[in-house]
Structure 1
């Protein structure tokens, strides 16, 4: 195979000392220090929240081209793939992407719908580390933060100037062409300069994927229409900063240009294929300010303007002549535009060593327009909030908070409260307990969306109510052993959430359409989730081992709509093992995760019947494993190679019969294009 020859040629060319025991890029990240939801940067152990991090070293060792590859083996994290649209969505602790707040350096990312597709439109080459805060964060971050917050922290540089470049080549199953078409191809270049009070930088990244089993010739077209689409993605970033002893100002622009090609199945009756292009443009302007007004008073502010557009272009392709023309069919040509302006600021005032106050404001102005939205619509959200930290003793930290909201589109709750506590039971044992009242406002798409084609009738619902939750979360963290060369810690956690007026995309009978039913966003009266996790981490010298387990139950929307809150349970087991040899320095890593069977109820009408029934559908369990080897060729060049999806998982058996819903889960579930091999070279120079 061509890709095996390419990897072998690089291996034969290795010369010089090899080192990968430490990060190859110096950043300002301090070990085990977090910022999400904190009054100021502090260690994970001191935080009142249950926080976990994915470090820069872990990201580099994965050799990933997107954040999904890094997060997929995390405990309590799952992804679903929509091959019809070429997008993915995240689930956290049993809750869907619409309940997960995605932040980029503390700024929420604009989404066009309930799925969190922006996660795969972040340049992983600019990421320093990832912070995951479990549990509702509605007081601090407002709507959508019911399951938790995922904060992507970008790199900060030392030195007068920095240069870096990366090339990654990966197969798609057994398919590969160098640098373009078949396989996965990532190229990135970046530079950063700093002198005195000023700094500036920028980067450009290209992500190219040839898809899987693509082709226009009948012999090349797959038997099944669902397959991985070719994608061309360009990610650009530019920033400038100014810093004095008391004031720091930063501006950054992120840009995304993405084209996903959906190559349609050949129709021999007419000699044509129907191809679609999904074209996305995203701009994100962000200004941040940190100002130490006095020794006791600090202001942190951020303002952002984001613009997003997604266009669907459908083309008919004549197989005999090669001619193409735009499809005139309903819903085949459209464009949707969204924009969001936001401003958020906090004032931290330290009354004493034991008491701190943090009032703040949060303004979000959202607009949406397009062929699938009933005229231009907007939602404006205004909020003020206040939190405090009380430390009556050195072993007790209590953090209450409240948020007051006014929303232009729905009746906001009069007050959103929360309380987080941390008890240091001993020098090695910490107990955290929290209660939070969470909420999620209806998104523009859920209120005003309208889409119709030959297979789908999807409606928004202007009568939707806001979604509310009462959440309880607790954890017990044990520092079992800490020595010069080794350490062992364990965390046992549990959560219980009840939801009122949860928003779902429901199937509703409607005799006016040919299919006899439509999809419409609806509120369900009650639902709930409950779960427990156990996470263990051990380190001895160059050996790092983590072992975790989760068991999460979720009430099903179909049954919940009938008042039945039966829980459907699913387990997970995860283990990561890494070992670093000192001479010659080599880091070998294995990532493994078992994801248990999942179930859901569905309402279907059996063939030959006119009466719908409710049945239980199941999706089979699966195992995922990645293996990587990371080394340093010299002080400026690192190499990572490995195998993704060692167990060659492609699709999961799914007993669902529901194929009439929008992007339904009927049929087998796509997971990957199979086992793949990758090689990455990373150049970095700091002066």
Structure 2
């Protein structure tokens, strides 16, 4: 090469390097609003000067726009399957721009994110995930998490006047169910359970339920399953005002309001509400509230009066490669348990006051690299404060005096500090994607019934999962978690999930899912360091407790059929849970009780479920059959290994779009629940809780261009208030019976929802 040719080539390269950015113009990146992941294959249509240009985003979601299309007002339309189409008018592309698409969660197009590397359709997830969307929540007129779960298979609900609402999942108690809000666990359990009635639903977008352990990803308490409550992320409009007002004949009056703004890449949402319940018993008059103090025996109610006040703020910043989200909530609850007038003169009564405060704060930061790696960090604080006081009310002048008995009062505090971080690779053209991360949970408990007034426990873990797809129809996902705990030996937790597509075409998909997972539940601070000793109680914790652990096996077959206007989903599920070292309160000596790793508990079951969508009709039906077994069954010659209980559910929704009318019916049968128990004399007996039917009917009507929605309906159509629990045995303890509260009988409700927004 001559010197002149070299100079010519050199200058050409320099000019190309210098001018290429200006020729190419700017970069448009299409990402998912939910997790900021790139969307490859998105269709972009640009209209400029009566000309139309069509583009498709490459594998990294980034599209280089020609300079000729920049610096000028244009119309851009972005679309992709399972996402809402976005149209931007008079858009001027003057710099690199990220455009976020919101998932279009339509009927049967359910999107899940729990334990996933990115948000995706449920059909593509390797886990067996159930999604309850906002449409179903509204159709049920559900006010809290308990209301939503009343129509779910494998879920059995309980109610306590003091401890609140509890649940079983796959026959396993609520202490082994992890409840998350946007991936952050809630703290503050009473007798191991999160009170489901303390989780209002106004800001909830959907609820995801994963049955079976997710202990690799989420650690302790995720043994039976995980419920992840997903809050609203997509503002949708520049300004929104929502108000919901709900009234129930049982005495409930619920009012909520929320405000939302979208300013460029920033979203802010404020919300607040009050749930009021004046208490209920069979003599309660419908839609009647009497604020006057009661001085006779009618003051003691079957369902206690309750008031909940809550509020929150959510801030979200989303740009090309960065997502930041902060959310903070405050919750206050007051319950009054009024006592009966005391003999002989009926002039005084003991009233218990329960006050609960929750403080939840979480911050989430995500950064996406260009080669489809994502860093994610979560920092959170959850505070739980509960105070119980007993007052003596003088019924003659309606004055109160604090009880002088120390055991009538209790104050407890629980603080949890959480830090999670992970590195995730999500390349759709790669056979292997993975996640590696850490999980830190530090808990502090304070209270008069905690040893030395305060105890703390720290859990530090690392975990890793991978999804290997040797060919298109097969996904293999192993995982492992290793941790250190400051109070007990933390178990190594493995898992293995497999998804195989037996058939997949435009009309039908048939998939087989199989999984094994090791789950565990760490002993709580209460079980380790509880001290409650007075004239009537002698209960102490056990610092030598080990973690409960379980082996879980799951096999499921899923079929999705689509023929013109008909969409049908069928699934059959088999599961088996074997729990060891179950923590149980037992007698340690003649006068002392403590916690021990004593029992083994096993559940198994089958679930068949079908869901149909035809035009404006949505219907679903399912059957469940759950068996329970514990060590006591081996000692009872009259008992089989497993004691089974059936469940049946049905729901039907119709949307008459032409006149803005929606109707919905929900039904569930909960079968007889048998169990083997031991009485105080060491004798075994079989107990049974009776079966019952629950059904709800709701009708909704839109008005004012869908800005107003009127709802009315009936809950508990079969008028169930309580069911009997009976026990049989031998000798002096041959027969006993009692009742279990289920509901407040047939109740009527109506509501008004207002939604005003600007484009």
The equivalent position to 1:574 in structure 2, one of 639, 642, 649, is: 649
Distance 1:455 1:473 in 2: 45
Counterpart position of 2:438: 361
Deviations 1:306-348 (A, max 9, x none): 1111000110011223221011124211100010000111111
1:295 lines up with 2:362 in the alignment: no
The equivalent position to 1:320 in structure 2, one of 374, 382, 396, is: 396
Instruction: Tell me: CA distance 1:681–1:374, structure 2 relative to 1, closer, same or farther (3 Å).
Output: same
Q: Say whether the 8 Å CA contact 2:244–2:257 is kept in structure 1.
A: yes
Partner SS for 2:451: coil
Instruction: Tell me: CA distance 1:623–1:248, structure 2 relative to 1, closer, same or farther (3 Å).
Output: same
Counterpart position of 1:489: 569
Distance 1:657 1:221 in 2: 35
Instruction: Tell me: CA distance 1:248–1:502, structure 2 relative to 1, closer, same or farther (3 Å).
Output: same
How far residue 235 of structure 1 moved from its aligned partner, in angstroms, is 1.1
How far residue 64 of structure 1 moved from its aligned partner, in angstroms, is 1.8
Deviations 1:107-126 (A, max 9, x none): 11112344333432223111
1:451 lines up with 2:451 in the alignment: no
Counterpart position of 2:50: none
The equivalent position to 1:547 in structure 2, one of 614, 621, 644, is: 621
- The structure with the largest alpha-carbon Rg is 2
Trace 1:658-669 onto structure 2 (pairs within 5 A).
Answer: 667-669=738-740
Distance 1:580 1:138 in 2: 40
1:283 lines up with 2:359 in the alignment: yes
Q: Say whether the 8 Å CA contact 1:525–1:561 is kept in structure 2.
A: no
Q: Say whether the 8 Å CA contact 1:524–1:557 is kept in structure 2.
A: no
1:392 lines up with 2:466 in the alignment: no
Deviations 1:529-566 (A, max 9, x none): 11110001112222211110010111136447999993
Counterpart position of 1:94: 171
TM-score scaled to structure 1, two decimals? 0.88
Trace 1:183-262 onto structure 2 (pairs within 5 A).
Answer: 183-213=251-281, 216-221=294-299, 227-262=302-337
Partner SS for 2:187: coil
Q: Say whether the 8 Å CA contact 2:599–2:631 is kept in structure 1.
A: no
Deviations 1:247-284 (A, max 9, x none): 01111111101101111122122531110111011111
Trace 1:413-452 onto structure 2 (pairs within 5 A).
Answer: 413=491, 415-427=492-504, 428-452=509-533
Q: Say whether the 8 Å CA contact 2:182–2:230 is kept in structure 1.
A: yes
Trace 1:20-169 onto structure 2 (pairs within 5 A).
Answer: 28=103, 30=105, 31-83=109-161, 85-156=162-233, 157-169=235-247
Trace 1:258-277 onto structure 2 (pairs within 5 A).
Answer: 258-269=333-344, 271-277=347-353
1:651 lines up with 2:651 in the alignment: no
Partner SS for 1:37: coil
Partner SS for 1:643: strand
Partner SS for 1:446: helix
Trace 1:591-602 onto structure 2 (pairs within 5 A).
Answer: 591-602=666-677
The equivalent position to 1:621 in structure 2, one of 685, 691, 704, is: 691
How far residue 349 of structure 1 moved from its aligned partner, in angstroms, is 2.1
Q: Say whether the 8 Å CA contact 1:102–1:119 is kept in structure 2.
A: no
Moved more, 549-558 or 283-292: 549-558
Partner SS for 2:407: coil
Counterpart position of 2:25: none
Q: Say whether the 8 Å CA contact 1:396–1:423 is kept in structure 2.
A: yes
Instruction: Tell me: CA distance 1:565–1:325, structure 2 relative to 1, closer, same or farther (3 Å).
Output: farther
Deviations 1:68-113 (A, max 9, x none): 1111111111111112x14111111111111111000111111234
Distance 2:467 2:447 in 1: 45
Distance 1:558 1:456 in 2: 26
Distance 1:452 1:653 in 2: 33
Partner SS for 1:201: strand
Distance 2:682 2:177 in 1: 33
Q: Say whether the 8 Å CA contact 2:636–2:684 is kept in structure 1.
A: no
Instruction: Tell me: CA distance 1:478–1:556, structure 2 relative to 1, closer, same or farther (3 Å).
Output: same
Distance 2:605 2:231 in 1: 31
Distance 1:666 1:291 in 2: 59
1:331 lines up with 2:402 in the alignment: no
Instruction: Tell me: CA distance 1:453–1:220, structure 2 relative to 1, closer, same or farther (3 Å).
Output: farther
Q: Say whether the 8 Å CA contact 1:431–1:474 is kept in structure 2.
A: yes
| Larger RCO (CA within 8 A; separation ≥ 6) | 1
Q: Say whether the 8 Å CA contact 1:51–1:134 is kept in structure 2.
A: yes
Instruction: Tell me: CA distance 1:218–1:510, structure 2 relative to 1, closer, same or farther (3 Å).
Output: farther
How far residue 520 of structure 1 moved from its aligned partner, in angstroms, is 3.3
How far residue 502 of structure 1 moved from its aligned partner, in angstroms, is 1.3
Q: Say whether the 8 Å CA contact 2:714–2:748 is kept in structure 1.
A: yes
How far residue 454 of structure 1 moved from its aligned partner, in angstroms, is 6.6
Moved more, 535-544 or 49-58: 535-544
Distance 1:500 1:666 in 2: 31
Distance 1:398 1:28 in 2: 26
How far residue 584 of structure 1 moved from its aligned partner, in angstroms, is 1.7
Partner SS for 1:266: coil
Partner SS for 2:542: coil
Partner SS for 2:123: helix
Q: Say whether the 8 Å CA contact 1:86–1:229 is kept in structure 2.
A: no
TM-score scaled to structure 2, two decimals? 0.80
1:503 lines up with 2:571 in the alignment: no
Partner SS for 2:527: helix
Instruction: Tell me: CA distance 1:322–1:656, structure 2 relative to 1, closer, same or farther (3 Å).
Output: farther
Distance 2:669 2:542 in 1: 38
Counterpart position of 2:28: none
RMSD: 2.3
Counterpart position of 1:632: 702
Instruction: Tell me: CA distance 1:453–1:235, structure 2 relative to 1, closer, same or farther (3 Å).
Output: farther
Instruction: Tell me: CA distance 1:27–1:188, structure 2 relative to 1, closer, same or farther (3 Å).
Output: farther
Counterpart position of 2:751: 680
How far residue 604 of structure 1 moved from its aligned partner, in angstroms, is 2.1
Distance 1:82 1:125 in 2: 24
Instruction: Tell me: CA distance 1:28–1:331, structure 2 relative to 1, closer, same or farther (3 Å).
Output: farther
Instruction: Tell me: CA distance 1:254–1:560, structure 2 relative to 1, closer, same or farther (3 Å).
Output: farther
How far residue 523 of structure 1 moved from its aligned partner, in angstroms, is 1.4
Counterpart position of 1:178: none
Give the gaps of 5 or more residues in structure 1. Answer: 1-22, 173-182, 513-517, 606-610, 659-664
Distance 1:483 1:163 in 2: 39
Q: Say whether the 8 Å CA contact 1:330–1:452 is kept in structure 2.
A: no
